[in-house]
Amino acid sequence: MEQLVAQIEQYKKEISQVTVANAADVEAFRIKYLGTKGLVKTIMGEMKSVDADKKREAGQLLNEFKIYVEARFEEIRNIGEEHSVATTAVDLSLPGADLPLGARHPISIIQNKIIQIFHRLGFAVAEGNEIEDDWHNFSALNLPENHPARDMQDTFYISQNPDWLLRTHTSSVQIREMQKGVLPLRIICPGRVYRNETISARAHCFFNQVEGLYIAENVSFADLKQTLYFFVQEMFGKDVKVRFRPSYFPFTEPSAEMDISCLICGGEGCSVCKKTGWVEILGCGMVHPKVLENCGIDPNKYTGFAFGMGIERITMLSYQIKDLRLFSENDTRFLQQFTPATS
């Protein structure tokens, strides 16, 4: 019995001094002390050599020893886990790994820039629906049914309802805004539009436009020209030349198209400007009195101008992009190249 007490004391001392550095050390401790051939099991076997009258006392002693070893094992296991976390986990003091950053789409960059330029002239943004009815997209804009100018824009109709279509231009938004009857009105309407066109480097079945509209008393063509001169200078820089050509749109009278000197060749003539030195960027004109009437506005009191441009065209000129399809292919090699244009 005395021997047993002395031995247990010695083992306890030994066990209290065990240190572990990793999971393998923890496992070695388990096998050595608590395994099937481990020390606890072996020392339990000593019971048989203890005198009969001391067996109770010895049993208690051995049991306490077993509990001690198990408790120590728990401690050691926790220490082992802490060590392995410390050696394999992230060092929180290091700078984080880079997350791939997205970039704004070039169309969004240019659209925002256009909005900002007109914002400085007091134009507010108005938005409408991509699914429109025939009246807002055509009839109210002085394009009654069977009007030949409807063929200028190949339209996607919605099969469930022949009166519904995908808007072919954002001019439908000017109708909705004029109908609200709050004058004067000074808005730009950015948005996606749809036309049934064969997809090529220069055309797509969907693209983006910005429509502008200013209705007040005494608005003249001179106001229109001044507004667009300002826009071109802010958008493309002071050296760019501008010219107006007479044109036809059913919703404006008179109507014009505006060209700027080619940014690619500087007016010398190249493939982008088809050797003319000029590139068309928008259509415009004085709002037709019939359109005002259709929206409940008195054309004898109010006049206004309107213009409409394709954002893709402006973006292609700003960044010298030659194929319109790149905008909708979602190729990140293309998309990651754009930072806001600064001219």
Residues that bind ligand DAH (CB under 6 A): 169, 171, 211, 249, 252, 283-285, 306-308
**Element containing residue 3 per DSSP (H, E):** helix 2-16
Nearer to ligand DAH, 20 or 284 (CB): 284
Q: Which two tokens stand for residue 333?
A: 């090699």
Q: E strands, 32-182, where?
A: 124-125, 131-133, 164-166
Contact 145, 209 (CB under 8 A): no
Compute the least distance from the CB of residue 143 to ligand DAH, in Å: 10
Residues in a beta bridge with 244: 258
Closest contact distance (angstroms) between CB of 169 and ligand DAH is: 3
In angstroms, what is the minimal distance from the CB of 310 to ligand DAH?
A: 8
The bridge status of strand 252-261 relative to strand 278-287 is antiparallel
* Cβ distance to ligand DAH smaller for residue 208 or 261: 208
Specify the residue, 106 or 283, whose C-beta has the smaller distance to ligand DAH. Answer: 283
Shortest Cβ 273–ligand DAH spacing (Å) = 20
Smallest distance, Å, CB 249 to ligand DAH?
4
Residue 266, C-beta contacts closer than 8 angstroms, at least 6 positions apart: none
DSSP-assigned letters across all residues of 146-173: T-GGGGGS--PBPTT-TTEEE-SSTHHH
In 3D space, the residue among 241, 308, 323 whose CA is nearest the CA of residue 278 turns out to be: 241
What are the tokens at 198? 């064969």
In the complex, minimum distance from the CB of residue 326 to ligand DAH, in angstroms, rounded to a whole number:
22
Nearest residue relative to ligand DAH (C-beta) = 308
Q: Which two tokens stand for residue 308?
A: 């409409």
Name 225's Cβ contacts closer than 8 Å, sequence gap at least 6: 244
User: β-strand 185-194 against 124-125: which pairing, if any?
Assistant: parallel
Between 54 and 147, CB nearer to ligand DAH: 147
Beta carbon nearer to ligand DAH, 80 or 310: 310
For residue 314, the minimal CB distance to ligand DAH (Å) is 13
Report in angstroms how near the CB of residue 283 gets to ligand DAH at its nearest: 3
Number of H helices, E strands in the chain: 11, 9
Enumerate residues 6+ apart whose C-beta is below 8 A from 343.
235, 236, 237, 318
Nearer to ligand DAH, 46 or 197 (CB): 197
Nearer to ligand DAH, 113 or 169 (CB): 169
d(CA 316, CA 322): 7
| Residue whose CB is less far from ligand DAH, 68 or 221 | 221
